[in-house]
Amino acid sequence: MNRISLKVTGAQGQGVNSVGEMLARGLKDAGYCVFGYREYMSLIKGGHSSYQLDISDAHIGSSEQMVNILVCFNHHGLERNIRDVKQGGIVLHQTPDWEWNTEDARWLQEHQVTVVSLPTEQVLHELKAPPILGNTFLTAVVWSFLQQDCGVLESLLRGRFGRKGERVLQMNIDCLQKACAYVASLEKAPFVTLPATNVRWSGHMLLTGSQAMGFGIIHAGCRVYAGYPMTPSSPLLSFLADMQNRTRMVIKQAEDEITAVQMASGAMHMGARAMTATSGGGFDLMTETLSMNGIIENPIVIGLAMRPGPGTGLPTWTAQGDLLLAVHSGHGEFPRCVLSVSDAQDAFDLMPQAFNLAEQYQMPVIVLFDKHIAEALYTQEFYDQEHTVIERHLPDTAQLQELQGADRYAVSSASGGVSPRWLPGTQAATYCAQSDEHSGDGSSEEGAQNASAQMDKRMHKLEALAAQLPEPELFTVHRGQISEVRNAVHPEVLFLGWGSTKGAVLDALLELTSDNSSLIAGYLHYTYLWPLKTDRFSLLSQKARQTILIEGNKQGQLGMLLRQQCGIDIPKKILKYDGRPFCTDELHELLSQFISPTSG
């Protein structure tokens, strides 16, 4: 695998995203797998933000900490980000008369970094073009340094600006030509050689995790979505809202998170598929309703987009700090299912599953994701829609006629605690969805025997669910390849993680095992986090020379859950809780400490 990384930095609102997106689109079309990562602050204008693209001929699902090319819209990037540039890298900037301090100048020289000061202002002046066109100039300069065909970028610009009128389009084309001419005029242009293209990527989609989840939600037949704005769940709300006139979904921006989850619960109870998503603080507000859905055995799907807490925390950054919240939140004891998205593939795949599980087991399903997934840009193949099955587990007309009200929460039901659920409005016996402890038809019932029996009934569903859920997925990595799961092979070093960590861990392991051909490394990835399956983990961790937990939180929450459920402690941990996702090169270094022969 060959990868190149490029980071564009600037003030928020300056065009950083625009340049990042244009380059991503162009490079993907040219035949590269592109992974995009945005960093920004919780404000609208100003601030310091960045858009990083990692580019490869092979599949990549993560960013590097150190980049080959740094593009700085303003001097803040020059002050803050030059130490992010790799040995022999390039810095492009457009700050006139910029002078490095002695220390930075020495650093740049020692690391053989080439600095190019771009004549953006002068070019815009010559073209009488507004400052926004600087984005196109910058994009085109980077494009040329990457030795890409200017014609490809031109057609991209035509697609992007064609609708905005001939004048706007022409100015963009002029900027492009100026940029190409400028690069050609340089005596020693710092060209960067990208790996060979692979045509398969050009047919892929370029989309964010939020869009991927949105597609999954639409595909799953969700017809009502209620939400309240909170980063990083807001892009999902925006996406579904923008799609509503085509999908014909009912989208409701509620007055608060309690409303959002109650509305979604009401809609789901009535028989639509409905959902809400929020972040930690909003989820806290939803937890009483979560518990309510537990006792009325109402299916509900709640997306929990993690960002660092506690409190308002780091609103625009990422974390995996809400696993225990998802598993333990809500008063009383009730069954639930917790799933976790790790990339743009399962962001889609897990949504129909979440709804199916919610309806099959009549329980809340929480889908964890995080800021990194919500806003990362993935190169993603088209989703397989053929194999999706919508499973509602509702009685047919003949069965409806047989039902008594008391069947709704009947304890006698032999089917793993799952009693028949039918929808209000259907011509059948009626019942009460009763949040007080209740008898079969939902009548309030405070008897001791009934209380235990109903609790047993509800919790019994967890056993059936656990039996249905798969064990965590094992990726065996050897000689730079991910091999099929072979139970016979026991990785000598076992890494363990969940969520968005997967992309960076796998990318790092591919590199590590290329460097070390004798190593067989395993990455055990948890997608289904509650009820927690521990058999494969127990077996593999017993066989492995060492087991290392990798999580984006302070306490190693998956490790805590595993110890709670199967008694195995994982003392070796790589934990990160600074708001930043794991990066490949960072993990490469950290993981290699565990696999070097001396660390045995």
Partner 1 sequence: MKSYSCGNTCTWCDGCGNYGIWAAIKRSLVELGIPPHGVFLCYDVGCHGNMSDKLSGYRFHGLHGRVIPFAAGAKLANPRIPIIAHGGDGACFSEGVGHLVHAIRSNYTMVFILHNNANYGLTTGQASALTWQGQPMNSAPNGMPEATLPSMDFVFSLQPTFVARGFSGDIPQMVSILKAAIQHRGFAFVDMLQACPTYNTFATHEWLLERVYDVAADGHDPSDFVRARAIAVDTSERISTGILYQNTAVPGFYERLKSREGIQTFPVEEVQKYDVREYMQELV
- Give me the least distance between CB of 356 and partner 1, in Å please: 11
| Closest residue by Cα to residue 154 from 128, 180, 130 | 180
Count of CB atoms situated within 10 Å of the CB of 486: 9
Rounded to whole angstroms, how far apart are CA atoms 233 and 367?
Answer: 12
- Give me the least distance between CB of 59 and partner 1, in Å please: 17
- Please provide residue 443's backbone torsions phi and psi, each rounded to the nearest 5 degrees: -75, 140
- Give me the least distance between CB of 33 and partner 1, in Å please: 14
Rounded to whole angstroms, how far apart are CA atoms 295 and 529?
Answer: 21
Give Cβ neighbours of residue 27 (< 8 Å, ≥ 6 apart): 34, 53, 55, 146, 148
Nearer to partner 1, 173 or 400 (CB): 400
Q: Which residue has the tokens 């038809």?
A: 441
| Closest residue by Cα to residue 491 from 474, 504, 516 | 474
- Give me the least distance between CB of 389 and partner 1, in Å please: 8
Count of CB atoms situated within 10 Å of the CB of 519: 18
Nearer to partner 1, 163 or 246 (CB): 246
Q: Are 161 and 168 in contact (CB under 8 A)?
A: yes
- Give me the least distance between CB of 247 and partner 1, in Å please: 7
- Give me the least distance between CB of 504 and partner 1, in Å please: 24
Nearer to partner 1, 420 or 522 (CB): 420
Nearer to partner 1, 173 or 241 (CB): 241
- Give me the least distance between CB of 380 and partner 1, in Å please: 8
Residue type at position 305 = A
- Give me the least distance between CB of 148 and partner 1, in Å please: 18
- Give me the least distance between CB of 279 and partner 1, in Å please: 19
Nearer to partner 1, 31 or 321 (CB): 31
Nearer to partner 1, 85 or 213 (CB): 213
| Closest residue by Cα to residue 594 from 508, 488, 504 | 508
With both helix axes pointing from N to C terminus, report the angle between 535-543 and 557-566 in degrees, rounded to the nearest 10: 100
Q: Are 226 and 264 in contact (CB under 8 A)?
A: yes
Nearer to partner 1, 144 or 259 (CB): 259
Give Cβ neighbours of residue 524 (< 8 Å, ≥ 6 apart): 472, 473, 474, 475, 494, 495, 496, 497, 536, 537, 540
Nearer to partner 1, 214 or 280 (CB): 214
- Give me the least distance between CB of 219 and partner 1, in Å please: 5
- Give me the least distance between CB of 362 and partner 1, in Å please: 14
| Closest residue by Cα to residue 461 from 393, 521, 403, 507 | 393
Nearer to partner 1, 63 or 265 (CB): 265
DSSP string computed for 575-595? E--SSPPP-HHHHHHHHHHHH
Count of CB atoms situated within 10 Å of the CB of 558: 28
Nearer to partner 1, 254 or 482 (CB): 254
Rounded to whole angstroms, how far apart are CA atoms 22 and 167?
Answer: 20
Rounded to whole angstroms, how far apart are CA atoms 481 and 478?
Answer: 5
Nearer to partner 1, 252 or 372 (CB): 252
Q: Are 69 and 18 in contact (CB under 8 A)?
A: no
